[in-house]
Amino acid sequence: MYFAGVDIGSTMTKVVLMDADGTILSTIKGPTGPEHRQLANEVMRMALEQAKVPLKEVAYIVATGYGRLNVPFADRQITELSCHARGVYSLFPNVRIAIDIGGQDAKCMKINNGKLVDFVMNDKCAAGTGRFLEVIAATLGIKLEDLGALSSKSTKRISISNVCTIFAQQEIVARLSEGEKAEDIIAGMHEALASRVATLARRFKVEPDVVLTGGVAKNSGMVNAMRENLGCEILVPPDPLITGAMGAAILAQETYMKATAEGETIQTKPRRLEKAKFFTQ
């Protein structure tokens, strides 16, 4: 008996397949394209092939993320907030605050015993999201994955005062023309983003454990900047991209097990996958 979580985010799509004991058998990650329905089918097919598990043996599937309504084979849709909270809790049982910085938004979640108590979100401006880092990295001609290592070489932090991504981009171009080093600009950029996200988190009482997830959590410079801004240790999952999909898979298992234990008949969708046209992992 197996369970799956499919997380179709704004920029990345993830799937986690696990067994009844909670052991993760496979994970698939890839960029979210315009065809959510086709993508959902393909990532699920890839996860099943990786784990060598037939689709008919997957007892329950939960979809989450922006594209959760476009997963035709999902038995239930749950918000990404609840799934992130459950996924983070499974890795860090003492988590109190979870911060997820994605490509298009930043979410701060207050968690108690794995349950989402409250949340605040920035989804109106790119300046508080991973998109900010993408734009600035492109402006500097640097790979996104190299930002953390470069910022560690900084000897002074160049302040980025503009809160708008476009104006910040123009400000950075001006700093480069003044002869400022790229690593110092990157350190300032990390500080600017961390400061904005920390402002969101401080709407709650910030207390350990604090966990950072999302693609930005793979950036060591951002982790350090968040640590400085919040004044506490920042924990990062082994794979910070899959906590939402992991939480969805866990909730799928819990939903199914609870229903069967209580003798309820649980409704599931037909177990078939449509043929996908494309997917780039």
CATH code, 223: 3.30.420.40
The answer to whether position 15 is within a domain reads yes
Average pLDDT of each block of 10 consecutive residues along the chain (281 residues)? 93 93 94 79 93 95 92 94 96 97 88 93 72 87 92 90 80 90 92 91 94 94 96 96 97 95 86 61 42
The predicted pLDDT at position 225 comes to 95
Sign of CA dihedral 135, 141, 147, 153: negative
Task: Assess if residue 111 is contained within a domain.
Answer: yes
Residue from 154, 237, 238, 168 nearest 196 by CA: 168
Residues 99 and 224 in one domain: yes
Tell me what pLDDT residue 124 has: 64
Q: Are residues 201 and 120 part of one domain?
A: yes
* Beta carbons of 244 and 7 less than 8 angstroms apart: yes
Q: How far apart are CA 44 and CA 28, in angstroms?
A: 8
274 within some domain: no
- Number of folded domains in the chain? 2
Same domain, residue pair 135 and 161: yes
Helix 130-140 with 182-201: angle, nearest 10 deg: 170
Asked if residue 189 is part of any domain, the answer here is yes
Residues 18 and 150 in one domain: no
CA–CA distance, 182 with 187 (Å, rounded to integer): 9
**Does 277 fall in a domain?**
no
In a domain, 273, yes or no: no
Task: Tell me, yes or no, whether 104 and 64 share the same domain.
Answer: no
User: Which strands sit side by side in the sheet containing 24-31, from one edge to the other?
Assistant: 24-31, 12-19, 2-8, 58-64, 76-77
Indicate if 12 and 117 belong to the same structural domain. no
In a domain, 266, yes or no: no
User: Which residues, other chains included, contact 129 with Cβ-Cβ below 8 Å and sequence gap of 6+?
Assistant: 101, 102, 103, 104, 105, 106, 122
Give the separation between CA 171 and CA 6, rounded to whole angstroms.
39
If we measure between CA atoms, which residue out of 125, 148, 140, 109 comes closest to residue 196?
A: 125
**What pLDDT score was predicted for residue 192?**
87
Shared-domain flag, residues 151 and 117: yes
Res 280: pLDDT: 42
The answer to whether residues 63 and 77 touch, using CB atoms and an 8 Å cutoff, is: yes
171 and 203 fall within a common domain:
yes
Residues 161 and 43 both lie in one domain: no
Q: In the chain, where do the E strands start and end?
A: 2-8, 12-19, 24-31, 58-64, 76-77, 97-101, 106-112, 115-122, 210-213, 234-235
**What is the reported pLDDT for 34?**
76
What tokens does 35 get?
A: 């065809």
- pLDDT at position 126, please? 63
Q: How far is CA 12 from the centre of its chain?
A: 8
Determine how β-strand 210-213 pairs with β-strand 234-235: parallel
Q: Which residues are 273's β-sheet partners?
A: none
Q: What's the confidence (pLDDT) of residue 2?
A: 97
> Does 225 share its domain with 106?
yes
Establish if 36 belongs to a structural domain: yes
Q: What is the pLDDT of residue 278?
A: 44
Give dist(CA 85, CA 213) in Å, integer.
11
If asked whether residues 47 and 154 sit together in one domain, one would say no
Domain shared by 109 and 213, yes or no: yes
Task: Identify the domain containing residue 132 by its residue range.
Answer: 94-235
**pLDDT at res. 131:** 84
